[in-house]
Amino acid sequence: MYDRMQELSIQNMEKIHDAAMDLLKNTGVSFNEEEALEIFKATGHRVEGATVFFEESDIQKALKTAPKRFTVHARNPEKSVEIGEDDFVFLPGYGAPFVMDAQGNQRQATMEDYDNFCKLIQTSPYIDMNGWMMVEPADMPHETVHLDLNLSNMLLCDKPFMGSPVSRQGALDGIEMAGILWGGKENIMDKTVSVSLINSLSPLQFSDEMAGALIELARHNQACVIASLIMAGGSGPVTLDGVLALQNAEIMAGITLAQLVRPGVPVIYGSSSSAMDMKTGALSIGAPELSKNIHLVAQMARFYNLPSRSGGSLTDAMCADAQAGAESALALSTAARSGINFILHSCGILGSYIAMSFEKFLIDEEICGMVRSMIHPLALTDESIDIDVIKEVGIGGQYLTHPKTFQLCRTEFFMPTLMSRKNPDAWAKNGKRHIDKVAEDKVAQRLAAYEKPDIDPKIEKQLTEYVKKCKTA
């Protein structure tokens, strides 16, 4: 296969690996969580204060038990997904405190916004999993909002969902609620029903919240993305070469902890590292360095026989304009073509994670469909080539009215619902509407057509009561 983006040689990947092993052995990684330190001590790791040191044999032992693919079960079994090897999933944006409207006006996100994103995910033909904290609702108490987000994920959408890694207790609440959804916590101990995002604290640290959540999630067999988001030139080296080594060390440390807690628990090798804008000091996620890192991360994950995670439709733009379209399409298509398995932020993100946009969600969603169509392989069979039709039409003929064209005209090609293919007269007659305006109308239509998926009323009541109980405890 030929690709002009850099393909790492075995020697290149071994060099990155060796640099990471050097960091893990001689510098170590800080885990600011007591149980994590006790686990490392009990398994023979050298621990000095909060710093854990790793031998290469520790890493190799963890990699032997980490699966290269796994299933995430949905409450609707028809919507369960496979992650790893050739299978990949698109997921929505994550962690935005604001919502940006089609006019570029920014406001604080609300719980209603979160619910509406769940509804768009449920009705999406291209988004495979529900996310976590697509927006951070400002109208809900910070201490208990994770309960409401879990409840919305479970009731408003029957696709697989991401878990709540906000803290050890947040992870435990998510596990308890998943247990209710599956008729008892014992029913999910050997069944992965969520994927949670565990971020390192670069350089070379894990916070107590992330480490505590990782331990509980691994203990209950729930998958974790072990992710490093390094700002090159800020929280990590200015070169992407150095970033690859540093993020690799952080990811390997987190994966090792997960496998020590429960050998065989699913983990995903993740990064969305990018460059610091040297003019502003801010993280740039629309930079070409992000796409370069995505392509290289996919290769390093395969080097370790692990599923991979990266960002998708990411942009620094503040509205759904040409900049947003260009940056988002480059990152998303790079992730899909490079073999990333868990493509987070596939739709909705604006302004370097600062906001989610309903209109951009739909635009990005359509790009997800286009990318999936673009990478779908041709059958290249006698039937699909159909040389008899080519001979029948012959020299100078036409295919427009041929029965084969009528047979396949509605299914053979990707058909957009937002992007215009009108001629200039038809476009002008329709009001010369730009795609963000078309998307604005489509959002209202999608939400109006939403139907809540069926759920056992007893289970819904138990979930609701659990949330109420936790809030008043």
DSSP, collapsed to helix, strand or coil, labels residue 125 as: coil
Closest CA to 408 of 395, 399, 396: 399
- Give the CA angle between residues 107, 199, 253 to the nearest 5°: 175
Task: Give the pLDDT confidence score for residue 473 in this predicted structure.
Answer: 80
Instruction: Confirm if 53 and 47 have CB atoms less than 8 A apart.
Output: yes
Closest CA to 37 of 59, 23, 52, 25: 52
Helix (H) or strand (E) holding 456: none
Q: Which residues sit opposite 226 in a β-bridge?
A: 198, 269
Give the separation between CA 139 and CA 149, rounded to whole angstroms. 13
- Give the CA angle between residues 155, 156, 160 to the nearest 5°: 80
Angle between helices 322-338 and 358-375 (to 10 degrees): 40
In what order do the strands lie in the sheet containing 355-356? 106-108, 98-100, 355-356, 349-350
Task: Give the pLDDT confidence score for residue 102 in this predicted structure.
Answer: 83
Task: Give the pLDDT confidence score for residue 3 in this predicted structure.
Answer: 82
Domain boundaries, the chain: 10-62, 67-375
Average pLDDT, the chain: 97
- Give the CA angle between residues 286, 290, 295 to the nearest 5°: 135
DSSP, collapsed to helix, strand or coil, labels residue 128 as: coil
Mean pLDDT of 21-30: 98
- DSSP for 155-210 reads HH--S-EE---SSHHHHHHHHHHHHHHTTSGGGGTTS--EEEEEE--SSSEE-HHH
Q: Which residues sit opposite 161 in a β-bridge?
A: 194
What confidence tier does 202 reach under pLDDT thresholds 50, 70, 90? very high
Q: Tens digits of per-residue pLDDT, 290-335?
A: 999 999 999 999 999 999 999 999 999 999 999 999 999 999 999 9
Mean pLDDT of 153-169: 97
Residue 131, pLDDT above cutoff 90: yes
Task: Name the one residue in this structure whose structure tokens are 């949330």.
Answer: 467
Closest CA to 250 of 210, 221, 284: 210
For residue 404 the two structure tokens come to 């084969």
Does residue 203 have a cis peptide bond before it, meaning omega lies within 30 degrees of 0? yes
Give the separation between CA 287 and CA 317, rounded to whole angstroms. 11
Residue 1, pLDDT above cutoff 70: no
For residue 337 the two structure tokens come to 């073509």
The 10 Å Cβ neighbour count of residue 398 is 8
Give the separation between CA 471 and CA 151, rounded to whole angstroms. 13
Q: Tens digits of per-residue pLDDT, 347-377?
A: 999 999 999 999 999 999 999 999 999 999 9
Closest CA to 308 of 336, 283, 285, 330: 336
Q: Tens digits of per-residue pLDDT, 259-279?
A: 999 999 999 999 999 999 999
Give the separation between CA 470 and CA 146, rounded to whole angstroms. 11
Task: Name the one residue in this structure whose structure tokens are 């998307």.
Answer: 439
DSSP, collapsed to helix, strand or coil, labels residue 390 as: helix
Residue 407, pLDDT above cutoff 90: yes
Give the separation between CA 52 and CA 27, rounded to whole angstroms. 9
Give the separation between CA 22 and CA 55, rounded to whole angstroms. 9
Task: Give the pLDDT confidence score for residue 103 in this predicted structure.
Answer: 83
Pairing between β-strand 342-344 and β-strand 89-90 as defined by DSSP bridges: parallel
Instruction: Confirm if 153 and 75 have CB atoms less than 8 A apart.
Output: no
For residue 244 the two structure tokens come to 């690859």
Task: Give the pLDDT confidence score for residue 443 in this predicted structure.
Answer: 97
Mean pLDDT of 85-111: 95
Pairing between β-strand 161-162 and β-strand 194-199 as defined by DSSP bridges: parallel
Give the separation between CA 218 and CA 221, rounded to whole angstroms. 5
Q: What CATH topology corresponds to 67-375?
A: TIM Barrel (3.20.20)
Helix (H) or strand (E) holding 150: helix 145-156
Angle between helices 435-449 and 358-375 (to 10 degrees): 100
